[in-house]
Structure 1
Amino acid sequence: MEDKKIVCKDCGEDFVFTAGEQEFYKEKGFDNEPKRCKPCRDTRKQNNRR
């Protein structure tokens, strides 16, 4: 597997979905690639907890 460059759907910045992360997603049975970069995912998680 190779690293993939993905555009965050929230901020529009490019982020890298590493080969290691892809393996982890595959192990966990996740079919979809992430749509948000790490900072946007963290912000979204915090907002959902309120």
Structure 2
Amino acid sequence: MLVGDLQRIIEYPELGFAIAQQLSDQVTAAYHRPVDAGFDSRLLKR
């Protein structure tokens, strides 16, 4: 669920649902590790 929440923090500002947030490189890398490992059931479908 956390990768889905973080994806929404990243994606929602572009869709007008939230304000943009600054994310550190460490947070971005931590997001990509589980996504790249296949934990994507809670991600927005594009």
- Give the TM-score normalised by the residue count of structure 2: 0.32
In terms of Rg, which structure is larger? 1
- Higher strand proportion: 1
- Higher helix proportion: 2
